[in-house]
Amino acid sequence: MKLRYLAAAPLVAAAMLGTTAAAWPATPAAVPPPPPALTASALSARYTADAKAVTTAGQNAARDGNKQLASALATLSKGHVLFFNPNGAGVAAMVIGNLATANRVAILVPGADTTLATFFSRGPDSPGGGAQALAREARKLEPEDAGERLAIIAWLGYPTPALLSPAVMTSGDAGQGARALRPLVTALAGHGDQVALLCHSYGSVVCGLAAPHLPVTDIAVFGSPGLDANSVAALHTRARVWAGRESGDSIMYVPHIHLLGLGFGADPMSNGFGARVFATGDSGHSGYLDPGSASLRNLTDIALGNTAAVTR
């Protein structure tokens, strides 16, 4: 994201004819299908079907001259795709690891300006690249069994708002994301998995709205503008709630308001919010999953359930 613009977003939103969130229609989008049974055979069938759908969509994008989307889909087609639908803004999720055997699952929830075309293009700051960075770090921290007990899902299950739009300061798109995220988490928990949500930027609003009574062990937000809640208690969750922010992240300048449908409430990094603050570094808004960073290591330990290893 180009965060130098983000601090002005509330003014942009409020200035547009005094429009509140309720006046802006929800963006039409494909809805992720229910997850399959979490068995080797059912997952294999889903992956095979989705690989064909992704390949076809990639060929169509290439035919239409959309090179960036075609490239992203060519890469995505080589992975384990849990769901895919190119209609509207498009939705997709990629799995690293074995969902049939894992006992922990980390779901990476991205923020604004994330699309199918940028699923890999921003390196660790994109869903696919971020999931790959987490998987590599997990193997580094637990070389013997991290690949067996942890699965990572790069999840783009909602239409993320454009950065320079009124929607980026409202929870409308986040609400769609929360409704799409909850069935997946519930299915994973029902399979016996311990689930952690790793939520970047506007994705933390999605996680905040999904949080009430959701069967997750951890919710970690980073580069967050707020969770549409004023405290951990207001999230109505039993999960451990973590928050991290790079010292160079311009998200700190976003006003923490909740007025007339604009803003997302209290700063999750503030003492009064009640989150467990984890160490990050001095990078910017896009550096949280960079290889070698303190934030990547801490987020990986949260994903693995190694909470005692998380540095503050």
Bridging pattern class, strands 276-277 and 218-222: unpaired
Query: Rounded to two decimals, what is the model's pTM?
Result: 0.90
CB 152 within 8 A of CB 146: no
CATH of domain 3-14+87-309: 3.40.50.1820
- Mean pLDDT value across residues 170-199: 96
pLDDT in tens, 90-107: 999 999 999 999 999 999
Q: Would you state the pLDDT for residue 284? A: 87
pLDDT in tens, 211-251: 999 999 999 999 999 999 999 999 999 999 999 999 999 99
pLDDT in tens, 251-271: 998 888 877 788 898 999 999
Bridging pattern class, strands 240-244 and 218-222: parallel
Closest CA to 197 of 176, 215, 179, 171: 215
Which residue carries 């049974």 as its tokens?
Answer: 37
Task: Name the phi and psi angles at 144, rounded to 5.
Answer: -85, -40
CB 244 within 8 A of CB 214: no
Separation in Å, CA 76 to CA 45, 87, 187: 16, 16, 23
